[in-house]
Amino acid sequence: MIQIRNVTKRFDEICALDQISLDIPEGMIFGLLGTNGAGKSTLLRLLAGILLPDSGEILVDREKEEPGEIAGDSSSELFHKKSFHTKKKIFYLSDEPYYFPNADMEKMAEFYGAQYPGMDREGVSAMAKTLNLDVRQPLRTFSKGMKRQAFLILALCAGTKYLLCDEVFDGLDPIVSEMMKHLFRQEMKQRQFTVIAASHKLYDLEDICDQIAILHRGGVVTSGDMRRQAQGVRKFQCVFREEGEDFGSERQMETQLEVIRFQRDGCFATLIVRGEKEEAERALRAKSAEFIKEIPMTLEEIFIAEMEGKGYDIRKVLH
């Protein structure tokens, strides 16, 4: 389990993370969602032990990240006790991973194998074959999407307990993205494995993550299983008898319902409300709704409902 407690990180005058607190349980895919500059990459580098927080603490399996006490340390040679003890548990995949000149997937698997004892080189070949990648072709000749596939495969096969991915499916077309998600799910079934995946695109995360945290301007807007948290939020489509200004208006609805979002076009209206289904339908019928249907909410609509309730402008967070 990863525990983040009141973590702050600054770069000169820029506060990249401000009093971040999160619990990331084991055995799940945990999403970090936010626009560029929200603090996602900084948080991943802190979790990987590449950076140290200015304040607060990070616990990985109850081990605290602390500066090293190796004789002769200089500021440029700073080591972390946590990194030394848990290095083999964590694989960090940046949005632009480094590879040696002329290296192919086989050579990179060999390199990672020296650092991670659980590296499955046969698994690399098998997954690469599934995605039609040549493990002996130089990575420099790969397209951006092919490189992303290659390094996601290497990361999955490293055999670590934790995998940190920055812009996890960036550059992949929809079909390849679905194939990679399938490989992630298969790996989750086969071993105890925790993935922390960062992206600025909600659709990259919504169908694979068990929980999602939204970061905005260095802070956590909301975190958890959004679908479970939004069980009391419902979306209805309605048809009203008349088009009069006061029939089915948001102002009228708010007298009996907690209206989160209201859109109307003539007699047709779409509402997102908070409350029990039966009470909502009763209130809508009382306002002359002849047809009422509850429809499923998308994850983005759930986030909108959650964040607008907290006073956030969704357009600045998700777009």
Residue indicated by tokens 């990672």: 112
Residue 258, domain member (yes or no) = yes
Same domain, 176 and 88: yes
Q: What amino acid is encoded at 141 in this protein?
A: T
Tell me: pLDDT of 249 over 70: no
- Among the listed residues 284, 279, 283, the one whose alpha carbon sits nearest the alpha carbon of residue 267: 284
Q: Quick one: which H or E segment has residue 3?
A: strand 2-11
User: What's the start-to-end Cα distance of the chain, in Å?
Assistant: 30
How far, CA to CA in Å, does 80 sit from each of 53, 83, 85, 101?
12, 5, 9, 29
- Among the listed residues 245, 242, 209, the one whose alpha carbon sits nearest the alpha carbon of residue 227: 209
- Among the listed residues 142, 137, 141, the one whose alpha carbon sits nearest the alpha carbon of residue 105: 137
Same domain, 83 and 202: yes
Q: What amino acid is encoded at 103 in this protein?
A: A
CA angle 81, 84, 86 (to 5 degrees): 100
C-alpha 228/C-alpha 211 separation (Å) is: 10
Pick the last residue of a domain from 159, 188, 223: 223
Residue 305, domain member (yes or no) = no
Query: Hey, which of 108-122, 222-236, 277-291 has the most confident mean pLDDT?
Result: 108-122
Same domain, 219 and 241: no
Same domain, 71 and 184: yes
Pick the last residue of a domain from 193, 223, 253: 223
Region 15-43 average pLDDT: 92
Point out the least confidently predicted range of 23-32, 90-99, 182-191, 264-273. Answer: 264-273
- Among the listed residues 149, 158, 82, the one whose alpha carbon sits nearest the alpha carbon of residue 114: 158
Same domain, 219 and 235: no
Helices 144-156 & 121-130 angle (0-180, nearest 10): 140
Same domain, 219 and 237: no
| CATH number of domain containing 287 | 3.30.2130.10
Number of domains within the chain: 2
Average pLDDT score over the chain: 83
C-alpha 314/C-alpha 319 separation (Å) is: 8
Which is more confidently placed, 266 or 110? 110
What confidence tier does 286 reach under pLDDT thresholds 50, 70, 90?
confident
Summarize pLDDT for 296-314 with one digit per residue, the tens.
877 777 776 666 655 555 5
Question: Which residue segment(s) compose the domain that 57 sits in?
Answer: 2-223
Same domain, 197 and 260: no
Same domain, 70 and 207: yes
Region 30-37 average pLDDT: 88
DSSP-based three-state secondary structure for 233: strand
Summarize pLDDT for 118-143 with one digit per residue, the tens.
999 999 999 999 999 999 999 999 99
Same domain, 98 and 6: yes
Region 181-209 average pLDDT: 90
Residue 179, domain member (yes or no) = yes
Same domain, 40 and 145: yes
Residue 145, domain member (yes or no) = yes
Same domain, 152 and 282: no
Same domain, 135 and 267: no
Work out the burial of residue 226: count CB atoms within 10 Å of its CB; fewer than 13 is exposed, 13-18 middle, 19 or more buried: buried
